Amino acid sequence: MSGELIDGRYQLLRQVASGGMATIYEALDTRLDRRVAVKIMHSHLADDEEFVTRFIREAKAAAALSHPNIVAVQDQGWNQNGSPAVFLVMELVDGHTLREYLFEQGSLSVREVIRHLIPILSALAAAHKIGIVHRDIKPENILISATGRVKVADFGLARGELIGNSLTAESSVIMGSVSYLSPEQIQRGVADSRSDVYSVGILAYELLTGEKPFAGESPIQIAYLHVNDRVPPPSSLKPDIPEALDQLILRATSVNPDERPRDAHMFLDELLAIQASLDPTKPQMSLGLDIPTTPIREKSRTPKRVSSLLSEPKGVASGTVSDMTPPKAVPNPARSARSPSPRVRKNRRIAVGLLIVLVASAWYFIAGTGTKVLVPSMASMTVADAQGRLSELGIKSRVTNVFNDDIDKGIVIFSRPGGGGRVSSGGTVELIVSKGPEKYQIPTLQGLSQDEGVALLEKNSLVLGTIKQVSNSSIPQGAIISSTPATGVEVKKGTVVNLKISKGPELLILNSYVGKSSDQALTEMTDAGFKVISKFAYSETVAIGAVIRQTPNAGGTFPKGTKISIIVSQGSENAFIPNVYSLSQDKATSLLEDLQLTVKVEKIGNRVDATVTDVSPAVGTQVKRGSTVTITVG
């Protein structure tokens, strides 16, 4: 879409990044004349309400935050003019991602890791303070500007009271990055501020060691390790890591959320304490905005040239009044007394004679042969103005219209006779008037054969340009798909017209993705050119997030754009009743509803601090999701 104008305001300049959900362009805000980043959802996802909801969620989440280490969102909307698109406008960060920096460096020193983590945690602390959880912290979502400013981006999976909670647990798990997801997100799709703390802990481990704590052949294997294994201490790979930092990362990546720092602010406080202990004499990092260090000097109120003159020493290059007065001419008595030579007198007589002849000829031309009128210059005048001017002088006019590529329609190009010429009173002046450029309309070429299209172009005084053959599922092979310029556009005579010719539908081989992750299936099939429709179902045998089946089946060839339906596992249809005894009614209800269970509340007494005293079915009972669980509160 490079070159398109989005929403009548944002001119897309170039593509800078592309992911499984959207493409990011560098663009120009034509209204405010500034560079911005425009994130446009892939067209095949725009019809999926869940994806659009996530996209708008990102705008709401970032707009609710104002922090120097968070990428600011400036606008969001739907493009109505031109290609339909759901878009998001963000500040343009000129730099690179933390992933790119980590790829180049391999791993970072302890002090470098702390310098990178502090702004990330500061940004998340601001989000946690108002109840927003990012849920997708990873190196790809951390930007580093050319000036060194760290920015947290992509709040597409964020949740909180300010932005709603419409995404399902299953969709969030599938779309998140499994290497950085907390165990509770993988198991139950539940996330709070401690889940972001876990992701930052994994990020810190990778920055220190250059490796992720868990590796596997598939996302499902990695997710299993996050749930069932403890993250090893970073010092096992890098022994020089301080013990305090090593222990902090171990606590942050604990499988039990209660053992982690409760939010990013607590994590940040502990990290700052470690930084201070490593170098007590060094001032701690300031998160203030960058400002110029040199004050702006006040402009001189005296113009530069006048100021320089006033500063010259007196008497230098100025002179006195008498010095600057030009000398008076001194008459030459010898020359004034000398009489003209015979040659000079002869030339004077010849000049006088020629003057008499010219005056007589002019009189004869003007008065002796009838009255002549001077024709004014009328170039660049409108026809009406030129005719009115001639009428005032008693001159008639005749209009001749001609095509002209440079002069607007209805404007006089020149006249016969031209400006400065003369005509007899009552005579006629011909006005040569522009009809504008000679225009030809691009005819309808779609569906015609190449030979038919070329013949039609020649008939309309147009020239055939390049011919490009492309695949097309709706236009028959060998027929014209479109032209540039497009049908109906008015162009000059001889304009070059380029054609696109159909090669017929492009056939693609469909591979099997059964048992593989839905992320892989969605990305690879979409990149290949298929339109993927995701649906969800329970499965007792297929892991959560993996493909149960696909339609049509793999093994054949299909035209590009074919719709492929995949059924994604939501995991087991059954859930175990958790222990909600002694919890408040709200917390117990929330925990049960997260497991997709229906909650029925029975109250006993009127205690203000009432808690759950009984659960039916009993704790640990296996029930189907959607079943009703009765809790007694008293």
DSSP states of 200-211: HHHHHHHHHHSS
Question: What is the residue whose two structure tokens read 């580093």?
Answer: 144
**Positions of E strands within 138-184:** 142-145, 150-152
Distance from first CA to last CA of the chain, Å, rounded? 61
Task: Provide the pLDDT for residue 353.
Answer: 66
Query: What's the confidence (pLDDT) of residue 439?
Result: 81
Q: Is 221 helix (H, G, I), strand (E, B) or coil?
A: helix
Q: How far apart are CA 430 and CA 396, in angstroms?
A: 9
Q: Give the separation between CA 540 and CA 571, rounded to whole angstroms.
A: 7
Mean pLDDT, rounded, for 527-549: 90
Determine the average pLDDT of the residues in 386-399. 90
Instruction: Return the domain boundaries, the chain.
Output: 5-91, 95-277, 372-434, 439-502, 507-569, 574-633
What is the model's pLDDT at position 209?
Answer: 93
User: pLDDT digit string (tens) for 63-108?
Assistant: 778 888 998 888 888 877 666 778 889 899 888 889 888 888 888 9
Look at residue 296 and tell me whether its pLDDT is greater than 80.
no
Q: Tens of pLDDT along 257-267?
A: 999 999 999 99
Confidence of residue 142 (pLDDT cuts 50, 70, 90): very high
What does the alpha-carbon distance between residue 252 and residue 204 come to, in Å, rounded to a whole number? 10
Cα separations in angstroms, 234 against 179, 204, 239, 245, 278: 16, 9, 8, 9, 18
Token pair 């050319």 in the structure block, residue: 146
Residue 548 has pLDDT above 70, yes or no: yes
pLDDT at 631: 92
- Tell me which amino acid residue 237 is: L
Q: What digits encode the pLDDT tens for the residues 414-441?
A: 888 887 788 888 899 999 998 888 788 8
For 372-434, CATH gives: 3.30.10.20
Identify whether the C-beta of residue 172 lies closer than 8 Å to the C-beta of residue 157: yes
CATH architecture of 439-502: 2-Layer Sandwich (3.30)
233 vs 245: CA distance, rounded Å: 10
Model confidence band, residue 359 (pLDDT cutoffs 50, 70, 90): low
The answer, yes or no, to whether the previous bond of 340 is cis (omega within 30 of 0) is: no
- When pLDDT is averaged across residues 44-49 and rounded to a whole number, the result is 71
pLDDT, average across residues 28-35: 88
Q: Which strand (E) or helix (H) includes residue 347? A: helix 342-363
**Does residue 150 or residue 350 have the better pLDDT?**
150
Beta-carbon count within 10 A of 585 CB: 16
Report residue 151's pLDDT band, with 50, 70 and 90 as the boundaries: very high
The fraction of the chain above a pLDDT of 70, given in percent, is 80
Q: Which fold would CATH assign to domain 507-569?
A: Trypsin Inhibitor V; Chain A (3.30.10)
| pLDDT the model gives residue 53 | 74
Q: Is the pLDDT of residue 335 over 70?
A: no
Tell whether pTM > 0.85.
Answer: no
The two beta strands, 5-6 and 73-79, are: unpaired
Catalytic center residues: 136
- Pairing outcome for strands 22-29 and 34-41: antiparallel
Q: CB within 8 A of 450, min separation 6: which ones?
A: 467, 478, 480, 499, 501
CATH architecture of 5-91: 2-Layer Sandwich (3.30)
Q: Which helix (H) or strand (E) holds 185?
A: helix 183-188
- How does pLDDT run across 440-484, given as a tens digit for each residue? 889 999 999 999 999 999 888 889 999 998 888 788 889 999 999
**Bridge pairing between strands 563-569 and 531-537:** parallel
Q: Could you say which of 3.40.50.300, 1.10.490.10, 1.10.10.10, 3.30.10.20 is the CATH number of the domain covering 574-633? A: 3.30.10.20
CATH topology match: 439-502 vs 574-633? yes
Name beta bridge partners: 631.
601, 615
Please, is 570 exposed, middle or buried when counting C-beta atoms within 10 Å of its C-beta (0-12, 13-18, 19+)? buried
* CATH class belonging to 95-277: mainly alpha
- The pLDDT value recorded for residue 344 is 57
The pLDDT tens digits for 397-409 are 999 998 887 788 8
For residues 339-354, average pLDDT: 62
Least confident of 49-58, 72-81, 353-362, 600-609: 353-362
Among 301-310, 328-337, 614-623, top mean pLDDT goes to 614-623
pLDDT digits (tens, 9 = 90+) for 210-262: 999 988 777 888 888 888 889 999 999 999 999 999 999 999 999 999 999 99
**Confidence bin at 363 (pLDDT 50/70/90):** low
The residue ranges of DSSP E strands in 170-241, in sequence order, are none
DSSP 129-140: HTT-B-----GG
- pLDDT at site 378: 82
Cα separation of 95 and 89, whole Å? 18
Residue with tokens 């026809």: 383
- Mean pLDDT score of the chain: 80
